[in-house]
Amino acid sequence: MIGLFNFARTIGTKLFKEEEEAPKKIQAYIEKDNPGVKDLKITVKEGIATLSGEAESSSALEKAVLMAGNVLGIGEVKADDLIAPPAPVGTTVQYYEIKKGDSLWKIANKFYGNGSQYKKILAENLEVIKDPDLIYSGQKIRIPLDD
């Protein structure tokens, strides 16, 4: 389970100008492409977003954290109060920070040894990656790994 996750505060999707409007804007952003979280509540203080609610799965929780963290102005996400069932046995996910020059093809080749598997990464990050051709350095994504 994710307790605290660090992000690059100076990059990401621009959703708000003033921190006071951040909770409402981030909540609307997550709920628009809701990965499976109900009763979502968000607070933001000094660049730290705190999420609470109930996720239908561990992947829904992780996606909500990544969606909040990949927002400009958010440097950390706390999700101790975002409840989710444990991941199924044998499920392994690695988090990856996109680097300059990366593409989903290159990332898939690195993790799976086959660039054409990029669709697997995209499918696991649909809420985080809106356009597979527009990923950016510093963005964090989930990489599902087979055991």
The C-alpha atoms of residue 49 and residue 47 are separated, in whole angstroms, by 6
Q: What are the extents of the domains in the chain?
A: 4-83, 91-146
Looking at residue 34, its pLDDT comes to 96
> What is the reported pLDDT for 65?
97
pLDDT of residue 1: 44
pLDDT of 147 reads 55
Distance from C-alpha of 15 to C-alpha of 23, rounded to nearest angstrom: 10
**Fold entry, domain 4-83:** Histidine-containing Protein; Chain: A; (3.30.1340)
CA-CA-CA-CA torsion for 62, 89, 121, 75, nearest 10 degrees? Answer: 20
Going residue by residue through the chain, which has 147 residues, state the pLDDT in tens, using 9 for 90 and above. Answer: 455 689 999 999 999 999 999 999 999 999 999 999 999 999 999 999 999 999 999 999 999 999 999 999 999 999 999 999 998 888 899 999 999 999 999 999 999 999 999 999 999 999 999 899 999 999 999 999 975
Record: fold of 91-146: Membrane-bound Lytic Murein Transglycosylase D; Chain A (3.10.350)
Handedness of CA 22, 25, 28, 32 (dihedral sign): negative
**What pTM did the predictor assign?**
0.92
pLDDT for 88 equals 86
Provide the residue count of the chain: 147
Distance CA 66, CA 146 (A): 21
- What is the pLDDT at residue 115? 97
Q: Locate 87 and state its tokens.
A: 């991941």
The one-character DSSP state at 34 is -
